[in-house]
């Protein structure tokens, strides 16, 4: 008796019910086995796996008891559910197994969190690398906005001084400089969102558990980037409000 996965059923019996059909396993030759059920496909390699694994499930006793089988001894996995810390079950679980068979070797004991983490090691490395470059790009962008605006304020000291002398309020000067810095930042955000939507399929292979159409993610990232750009404009903007119009005009 065997159970087969949905992918096997679709491959060999696409238009027929596989229940009741017989198959022969290559590693247990000469013993036809009846298919008694079809089960859902599972992710074997990693959580981001997209192609289903074709799988067979059969009783362990039938394999080890087969006269021509070369698989008389092979490893198997035991999964135990814990209400609290899963590590607290290790000792008692090992003791229970050895009470049944003291000679059974137990190796590679790990929690399900460890299994999940190992399956996503490659994706996690890519994300750390991408996050590092993104952080560096964000830092350079902030420094660039600050530098350009600081230079622009120094170049426009006479203009700002004249504006203040003619009655411009400090908030008007502040608003003028901030808008000058935020316009290209907002334009860049819009371009970035458009590019991320276009390259959604590539991003989905790097980011597990986050939809490429997640509105909250786009809003959060836009808020962070906009805040960095705003902070980068504040220092030059505040410096512009401290321009002394009388001193500026005398120097000119």
Alpha carbon distances (Å) from 194 to 102, 172, 187, 198, 219: 62, 32, 11, 6, 13
pLDDT tens digits, 102-129: 888 888 888 888 888 887 777 788 888 8
- The per-residue pLDDT for 210 is 59
CB 248 within 8 A of CB 157: yes
- The per-residue pLDDT for 14 is 87
- The per-residue pLDDT for 63 is 59
For residue 57, pLDDT over 80 is answered with yes
| 233-246: average pLDDT | 75
Question: Residue 223, Cα to own-chain centre: how many angstroms?
Answer: 19
- The per-residue pLDDT for 154 is 73
For residue 169, pLDDT over 70 is answered with yes
Strands (DSSP E) along 48-96, which ranges?
Answer: 56-57
More confident residue, 130 or 50: 130
Task: Label residue 197 by pLDDT band (50, 70, 90).
Answer: confident
| 173-191: average pLDDT | 83
pLDDT tens digits, 123-156: 788 888 888 998 898 888 888 878 887 787 777 7
- The per-residue pLDDT for 30 is 72
For residue 67, pLDDT over 60 is answered with no
Paired residues of 33 in beta bridges: 23
């Amino acid at each position: 008796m065997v159970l087969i996965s949905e992918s096997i059923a679709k491959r060999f019996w696409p238009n027929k019910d596989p229940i009741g059909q017989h198959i022969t396993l290559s590693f247990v030759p000469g013993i036809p086995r009846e298919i008694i059920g079809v089960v859902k496909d599972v992710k074997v390699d990693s959580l981001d796996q997209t192609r289903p694994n074709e799988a067979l499930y059969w009783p362990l006793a039938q394999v080890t008891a087969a006269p021509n089988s070369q698989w008389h001894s092979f490893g198997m996995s035991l999964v135990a559910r814990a209400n609290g810390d899963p590590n607290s079950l290790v000792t008692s679980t090992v003791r229970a197994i050895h009470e049944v068979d003291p000679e059974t070797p137990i190796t590679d004991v790990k929690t399900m969190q460890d299994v999940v983490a190992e399956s996503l090691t490659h994706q996690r490395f890519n994300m750390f690398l991408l996050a590092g470059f993104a952080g560096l790009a964000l830092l350079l962008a902030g420094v660039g906005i600050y530098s350009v605006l600081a230079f622009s304020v120094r170049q426009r000291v006479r203009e700002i001084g004249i504006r203040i002398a003619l009655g411009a309020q400090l908030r008007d000067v502040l608003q003028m400089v901030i808008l000058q810095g935020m316009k290209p930042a907002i334009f860049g955000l819009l371009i970035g969102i458009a590019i991320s939507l276009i390259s959604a399929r590539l991003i989905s292979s790097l980011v597990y558990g986050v939809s490429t159409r997640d509105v909250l993610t786009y809003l959060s990232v836009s808020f962070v980037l906009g805040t960095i750009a705003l902070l980068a404009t504040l220092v030059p903007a505040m410096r512009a409000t401290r321009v002394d119009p009388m001193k500026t005009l005398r120097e000119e």
